[in-house]
Chains A and B, each alone.
Chain A
Amino acid sequence: MKRALLLLATMLATPAAAQTVAITGGTVAIGDGSAPIEGGTVVIANGRIVAAGRGVAVPAGAQVIDAAGKWVSAGVVSALTDLSLVDADGVQESNDAGARNSPFKAAIDVSLAVNPAAVKIANERLFGVTRAIVTPSAESSIFAGQGAIIDLGADPDAVTRPRAFQFVELGEGGGKLAGGSRPAAYALLRDAFAQAQDFRRNPAAFDGRSRDALVTRADAEALLRVLDGQVPLLVHVERAADIRNVLALPRDYPKLKLVLVGVTEGWLVAREIAAAKVPVIAAALADLPAQFENLAATESNVGRLRAAGVPVALASTGASGGDHVLRQFAGNLVAIARIPGATGLDWGQAFASITSGPAEAIGMGGEIGSLRAGRRADVVIWDGDPLELSSVPVATWIDGVSQPMRSRQTELRDRYLTPTEGALPKAYERR
């Protein structure tokens, strides 16, 4: 505890973490798809990665941390999560993931709901998650709103990039949100885009404020950023036919920066997705026909997409075990590479699918998601292979700042390691 407090104090005193740190001797996993490098060095300074790999020199004056026998990796990026928007999913009072009764749709900006003090942030940080792609959920329209990129650091400054993308539902769920069918969802999408363009041509004449306006002014502004390609449009679809429809959208909206989400039937159209150069954030192990739009679900989906040349990241969406389940997902994709008839990933690709993969999908690969030079220094030292279930982080930096290694979960654990009460009630037991 004392050590954690000291770390915290240091951190608060030096917000930018000017200290140069060299982590030496560990197995380095850069997160860019490359294989792990034994005996590598990672140097961080001014909150950024200076260098990572074998033969990297330790700068004079650097704090040297010996990671021999350990792994040093990029932090995990949790794609498509409600982390920090909810305290407990079933508790509606504090749930900011969706806005069922709001007149605003595409305009919704979840960065304003991000709570850096949310309990889950520290819980998940302790399992190696350092950034998250926080995503609103669509509840009143096919447009969920604008997502944000956050860090999981123990500080009040959580938002890395607000309004980083727009999220839209165009599969079975989109059909229901649009009034009952997929065609209704496409009609809604095209009309919303048309209205956004009307707004651009003549803002003064644009309605956008009346009770029956389908698109508010704020929505129109948000949609223009999508139409202009300023932010990616994340589209949730599962069925192969739906994927093809989405891939056709740029014919009419040429600047769209598409990202496909979910995509359990993606392997059936892998070549088309690859040709369109559209990245995918996939449900990693979804192998059941959960709905009629997932009939071709297979654990090999991600591997087959990757083999066809599609950049694939994994989604943590809906993981009851917390965002850190991503490591397990990625490990399983390595596991199935050994199963006859199945297609998995090699280790470097699997690790990239939960680090640089999601970062690149949302156009932030230059900032986060790997240990390549210049990236924000989100670094985790693990006591073993980061994808293996037996491993945990032993030290973590976010933006080059050393992070405390305690959470509410560790507090509960320590209180109840011996469940019986002692001289005083459990309520008096704390570190």
Chain B
Amino acid sequence: MNSIRTRRVLLSAALLALPLSACATAKDKPATTAKKAPPVRYARNPYPSTYRAYPGTPTLVRNVTVFDGEGGRIDGGAVLFADGKVVAVGQTLDAPAGATVIDGQGKYVTPGVVDIHSHLGDYPTPSVQAHSDGNEATAPITADVWAEHSVWPQDPGFGRALANGGVTTLQILPGSANLMGGRSVVLKNVYARTMQAMKFPGAPYGLKMACGENPKRVYGSKNREPSTRMGNVAVDRQTWAKAVAYKRKWDKYEAEGGDAPDRDIGMDTLRGVLSGEIMVQNHCYRADEMAIVLDMAKEFGYHVTAFHHAVEAYKIADLLKSSGTCAAVWADWYGFKMESYDGIGENLAILENAGACAMIHSDDENGIQRLNQEVAKVLSSARHSGIQISDAAAWKWLSLAPAKALGIDAQTGSLKPGKMADVVLWNGNPFSVYTRPEKVWVDGALLYDANDPKRRPVSDFELGQPGSGDVK
């Protein structure tokens, strides 16, 4: 952290026990307040979204099985959307004048898939070294980097995730080499010339954190801290202590004015976490480590929104539930590193059964094309273990639960009137291996149609190449 000037190293427990807003109250104001310069807030959104929904036509899909993303199911139902928004979902709906009407006999309609864990754009294909933009693996704390500054909007993976996976929203995270890897960005899965034009309007930022093997391996191999799990926690705590002090200074300044404290771009992000504006997305595999992280969050006054990968989350489903922390997991990945050794296919099902917040995620440019199938595998494991979860309830893991954990559930994640018309028409039951998306709408715009080659995106990189983006 090159620009940290603070010499306040550790805060006492008593100080930390104060409400975080206490520093900003007026009672400590010195008498000279009137002479202070007024505060100037630094920009919270300097790279704003320029995303605009593409035009669509009012569309009624009827005679179709609907999973509304909130656990509801309507057989032989209908979904109407117009002007980019869901208008109505019901058993029978009338088509407004001029609406496109689609008969969905034998087909299913769901909300678009939301993937909370992707590296598309920052680890794009082709996976050449020149494209390796996901881990700023030069220091264990790089809260100063923003994944959006690495996103290559021409990643061929975006188009595959749309066409094969029905993915309409995704969070791009920095990698897990670092304890604090930087800020994430939430994107609409719509190709654009710029990253800003893909940014999900109004989505909060996330902070990517990582525990376990990766940080200690990466920095241990450079012969520096952390080289152990205890080193991981030590570096995290040292950093949070500095962040608490940074926040106090800036809160005071922004309330009272005066001389502006030094800016630290990384500390801005951690201050955002401590203020509850930035959500913590924490890569963590082992149950015991997740429990330690939850205590660390209490110690410094932040909330862990979700543990990602969380291969052992099933062992502490009760603790996750009581902490209000979600687990974003694979269906059945296991055994690819020591900390994934205890992975089982029932992980997500046990979490759901215990009432904990859980969801599916991909962390993979291939897996993101089949997240519906990953949930189908979870359902199979659940039902063969005596845990009954309905298909409609399981769709929450694919849209509403991740939307909530991204802070965008008021806008997307379910087929509720007024929400973004991010909609997938599947050519069969989406929990069957034999099913694929037939049409995908984002904000009501038809951006993939299996029956219309013109409604299939081809990224710049693939244009004029032998495969032309898999449209030949």
Contacts and interface: CB of A to CB of B under 8 A. Distances in A.
Interface of A: 87-91, 119-120, 123, 240, 265, 268, 285-292, 294-300, 320-322, 327-328, 331-332, 334-336, 338-341, 387-392, 409, 412-413, 416-417, 419-420, 426
Nearest to A415: B315
A88 B465 contact: no
Contacts of A419: 314-318, 350, 354
A91 B337 contact: yes
A89 B335 contact: yes
A340 B439 CA distance: 13
Contact of A89 (B336, B345, B350, B385): B336
Nearest to A332: B433
A225 to B, nearest CB: 32
Nearest to B432: A388
Nearest to A294: B126
Contacts of B17: none
Interface in B385-441: 385-387, 427, 431-436
A339 B431 CA distance: 17
Contact of B335 (A88, A331, A334, A335): A88
12 contacts: A88-B337, A119-B335, A285-B366, A288-B156, A290-B127, A322-B335, A339-B436, A388-B433, A389-B373, A389-B379, A409-B344, A426-B315
Contacts of B340: 88
Given A288-B157, A335-B433, A390-B379, A299 B335 contact: no
B466 interface: yes
Interface stretch (B23-31, B203-211, B224-232, B326-334): B326-334
A288 B366 contact: yes
B467 interface: yes
Nearest to B431: A389
B160 interface: yes
Contacts of A294: 126
Interface string B238-252: 000000000000000
Interface residues of B, number: 66
Contacts of A409: 334, 343-345
B19 interface: no
B335 A290 contact: no
B7 interface: no
A413 B385 contact: yes
Interface in B320-370: 330-338, 340-346, 350, 353-354, 364-366, 369-370
A412 B126 contact: no
B270 interface: no
Nearest to B335: A88
Nearest to A387: B433
- Counting chain B CB atoms within 10 Å of each CB, which of A89, A119, A390, A419 scores highest? A419
Contacts of A332: 370, 373, 433
A91 B344 contact: no
B471 interface: yes
Given A120-B335, A390-B376, A412 B342 contact: yes
Contact of A290 (B126, B427, B435, B466): B126
A388 B337 CA distance: 28
Nearest to B342: A412
Contacts of B387: 417
Given A341-B471, A388-B433, A420-B318, A322 B127 contact: no
A69 to B, nearest CB: 16
Contacts of A322: 332, 334-335
A331 B434 contact: yes
Contact of B350 (A285, A321, A392, A417): A417
B433 A295 contact: no
A340 B450 contact: yes
B377 interface: yes
Contacts of A296: 465-467
Contacts of B434: 331, 334-335, 338, 388
Contact of B451 (A88, A327, A340): A340
B380 A390 contact: yes
B472 interface: yes
B451 to A, nearest CB: 6
Given A88-B337, A289-B156, A389-B377, A297 B470 contact: yes
Contacts of A292: 126, 128
A264 B125 CA distance: 14
Contact of B338 (A88, A123, A285): A88
Contacts of B370: 328, 332
Contacts of A426: 315
Nearest to B356: A419
- Counting chain B CB atoms within 10 Å of each CB, which of A91, A294, A389, A413 scores highest? A389
B384 interface: yes
A243 to B, nearest CB: 13
A299 B470 contact: yes
Contacts of B366: 285-286, 288
A389 B338 CA distance: 27
Contacts of B380: 389-392
A327 to B, nearest CB: 8
